[in-house]
Chains A and B, each alone.
Chain A
Amino acid sequence: MTDALLHVDQVSKSFGALRATDNVDLELRRGEIHALIGPNGAGKSTLIKQIAGGLRPDAGRIMFMGQDITDLSVPRRAQAGLGRTFQISSLAMEYTVFQNVMLGALGQSGTVWRFFRPVMKDQALRVRAENALEQVGLSDQSGALTGELSHGQRRLLEVAVALTLEPRVFLMDEPMAGLGGEGSLRMTGFLDGLREKAPILLVEHDMDAVFALADRISVLVYGKIIATGTADEIRADPDVRQAYLGDEVSA
């Protein structure tokens, strides 16, 4: 319990008769990658939305670093240290790559209410933004328009913007989606090193990546967590085999 930075405490959410989130209990501990897996429609994205804000649970609490953040808005949670990346890239498409990371750095610095100083001359922000781009390997695309990036590059930029926030916790919704074999492998290597900085709650469909990276895995089926454990425990869990992994494990 002491190690848990993020604690999803008995959270439930229904849409009409559908229990999208059913009494979910989830912990993210210091230094770990905790993967959240489950078949399509299991309620992974609904759960992420409730953690990041923007969707209020019907019951239960979201505890973050000992504080109840259930009632906080998305920006407040981001300020508190939740760094989120989206399943579908959500960026300022008319901006350059660099402007997007500058926006992240600006959000983190709290100096947005300045009306006359050119933001692009703010050295502290620039350094932070350039660092983030370098870490994901996008430095060469700095001046490119975001709308003209490839899908994979946008995924990397999403992560770079999250990095500029220097969050306490990362929430990543399918960062590998659509990256392809090589890109996915590079992202796996990158996330592997990232967990030292801040733990990652990782929603991912790429099972190779999940089993390579995750310290712990939780399996969500029909809004319920049916198992939590290490990769080996999850592989061996009969419920999981039956409900979800099935052929993938035996293959």
Chain B
Amino acid sequence: MGREAIVNTLIFFALPVVSVSAWMGDEPFLITLATRAAILALAAVGLNLALGLGGLVSLGHAVFFGIGGYTMGILASHAQSYAPLIEVPFLIEGTKSMPVIWLVTVIVSAFIAWIIGVLSLRTSGVYFIMITLAFGQMFYYFAISWPAYGGEDGLSIYVRNGFPGLNTLDPLQFFGLVFCILAVTLWGMGRLARSPFGLALNAARQNAERVETVGLTPFRLRLVAFVISGAVTGLAGALFADLNRFISPTMFSWQLSGEFIVFIVLGGIGRLYGPVAGACLFVLLEHLLSGVSEFWLIYVGAILLLVVLFARGGLIGALAGREVAHD
């Protein structure tokens, strides 16, 4: 096993170990913390496909996180109030079933990602960053001004949605569910990075001209990456809403988009476990430092600065060294 594989395995098992020991020590708050870390990691794993592999610095990925949250919130609130979503031309009712909510979330966020992607991937560099940011702000202010689902105040969902055979209100069981999704996504992303598509996408980031010259279209590769990326981040949003049983426009905020990027940079850009390491570190720092000072983000900023200056490969790069080509 290579060094990176060992580091990855350790990171992978860190969250369940924390959760299970917290459960044995009767510290449900720590389980919630681990769940939060896993969900934020999932969101950043989604972004890492576009940003790390595809080189697309999206400053609007909170759009998908928010779409996930609001999909869950809208479906669950209608189920809660027994008011159908629409009656004409056909009846659609709300639902409290997680699998259904996830499916709808993935479809909706993939669709929104496709629209945003088609429009924004015509640009690159700073313009791409600005367009994705603009979309983020559009969704944010739309959520604030849309009174039907809480507007600025957000919306509470009183009971966590259900999953067949599980008691999702039990923190450890909900953690298990989230962790399984993270694990499956990481497995899929690992395969994706080594697939023909991954080879071409990564090449398009390095040299678009080269990719065109061998007969491939960078725009299409990037669009597909952006859609998958948005769908994964959307799913994380639905889970996040279920964790908090609350949604609000801040799920769309550009600060959150920025945090996703911070997770990736902290953990290691383009590395499979980079976003997981980054998100865990961030949640840990938040937990430890928010007790020290209200302005704990100052310390995170300092750490980020050190990483960018002295450890370009992030946490994974520092622990596992340079990425080896997988031939």
Contacts and interface: CB of A to CB of B under 8 A. Distances in A.
A67 interface: no
A112 B200 contact: yes
Contact of B192 (A107, A112, A116, A122): A116
Interface stretch (B6-14, B208-216, B280-288): B208-216
B3 interface: no
Nearest to A79: B215
A118 B195 contact: yes
A78 B215 contact: yes
Given A95-B325, A143-B327, A90 B196 contact: no
Contacts, number: 111
A119 B196 contact: yes
Contact of B214 (A96, A98, A107, A143): A107
A132 B209 CA distance: 20
Nearest to A121: B194
A117 B212 contact: no
B203 to A, nearest CB: 4
A122 B196 contact: yes
Contacts of A86: 209, 213
A113 interface: yes
B207 interface: yes
B49 to A, nearest CB: 11
Interface in A81-99: 84, 86, 90-96, 98-99
B214 A161 contact: yes
Interface residues of A, number: 43
A120 B327 CA distance: 6
B206 interface: yes
A103 interface: yes
A165 B214 contact: yes
B158 interface: no
A103 B325 CA distance: 14
A57 to B, nearest CB: 18
Contacts of B211: 103, 107
A161 B221 CA distance: 20
B213 A116 contact: no
Given A114-B196, A114-B197, A116-B191, A75 B203 contact: no
Contacts of A99: 199, 203, 325, 327
B200 A103 contact: yes
A99 B191 CA distance: 16
B210 A92 contact: yes
Given A75-B216, A90-B213, A95-B203, A114 B325 contact: no
Contacts of B210: 90-92, 100, 103, 161
A15 interface: no
Nearest to A80: B215
A73 B206 CA distance: 20
B102 to A, nearest CB: 19
